Amino acid sequence: MGEKSVQKKRYIVEKARDVFMEKGFKKVTMKDIVEACDISRGGLYLYFESTSQIFMEVLRMESEEADDVFSDSITEDATAADILLLFLKEQKKELLRKKNTLTQATYEFYFENDLPKRDNILKKQFDSAVKIIEKLIEAGVDNGEFLCEDCEGTARNIMFVLEGLKISAQTIGVTAEAVDREILYLLRGLGVEE
C-alpha cells in the first residue's frame, strides 16, 4: 500500500469517526461511511472490510493522538494536585457531552467484540491512566497536598468512579452538579479540604 493509500485510509477513518460520534457503533452501516466519505461503495472495501475494522482503526488513531490525556495538564510549575484536578475537569467536560463523543460507540463496539486483552485498547488506556494517577497521588502525598494510605487502590477507585459516571451519563443521565459532587468526594478522600 503506497503513500497515497495511507492518506486515503486516514481520510476514511477521520470521516468515519464523525459518523460513529453521531450514531454510535451498531447503527452505522458501510453505506453510511461510504456516503460520509463521498467515495464509491467498492472503494471502501479496498481499505476496510467491515465497520468493526474501521472502528478499531478509529480507536487506534484516537488513542495515538490523545495518548497523553494528561500531557495538556502538565506544565512546568503545576503541582500534582493541579494536574489531577485538571484531568478530572477534562473528564467532566467529556462525559457531559452526549454527542461528539465516541463513548457510546466504544461501549457498543466492545459489547460485541470480546477482544483479547492485548488488543483491548480500552483496557490499556484504563491501566495506563490508573498508573499515572497513582504517580500523581504519590507525588501529592510527598509534597503534602494529599493524604493517602493506599495510593494504587485510590487511583483505581477514581477510575472506576469515572467509568461509573461515564456510563451513567449515557443511560440514566448525570447533571454537572452530580459530577462535581463526586469529584469533591474523591478529593476529600485525598484529604483535600476546600
Residues of this chain that interact with a copy of itself (CB under 8 A) are 24, 26-27, 104, 106-108, 110-112, 117, 120, 122-123, 126, 150, 153-154, 156-157, 159-168, 170-173, 181-182, 185-186, 188-189
- Residues touching DNA: how many (CB under 7 A)? 19
Written as one letter, the residue type at 115 is L
CB of 114 to DNA, least distance (A): 19
Could you give the CA distance from residue 78 to residue 76 in angstroms, rounded to a whole number?
6
Instruction: Could you list the beta-strand ranges (E) of the chain.
Output: none
Written as one letter, the residue type at 32 is D
DSSP label at residue 188: H
How many residues would you count in the chain? 194
Binds DNA by CB under 7 A, chosen from 18, 43, 142, 184: 43
Cβ atoms of residues 103 and 170 within 8 Å: yes
C-alpha cell at 85: 484536578
Handedness of CA 139, 141, 147, 153 (dihedral sign): positive
Q: Which does 29 bind (CB under 5 to 8 A by kind): DNA, a copy of itself, none?
A: DNA
Subset of residues 48 to 107 that bind DNA, contact rule: CB under 7 A: 49-51
Q: Which stretch binds DNA (CB under 7 A): 45-53, 64-72, 122-130, 141-149?
A: 45-53
Q: Which stretch binds DNA (CB under 7 A): 3-11, 65-73, 76-84, 94-102?
A: 3-11
Q: Which does 73 bind (CB under 5 to 8 A by kind): DNA, a copy of itself, none?
A: none
> Whose Cβ is closer to a copy of itself: residue 73's or residue 106's?
106
Does residue 143 interact with DNA by CB under 7 A? no
C-alpha cell at 180: 462535581
Provide the Cα torsion 85, 152, 164, 20; round to 10°: 80
Helix axes 80-96, 151-171, angle to 10 degrees: 20
> Whose Cβ is closer to DNA: residue 21's or residue 178's?
21
Residues found near DNA in the complex (CB under 7 A): 1-2, 4-5, 8, 29-32, 39-43, 45-46, 49-51
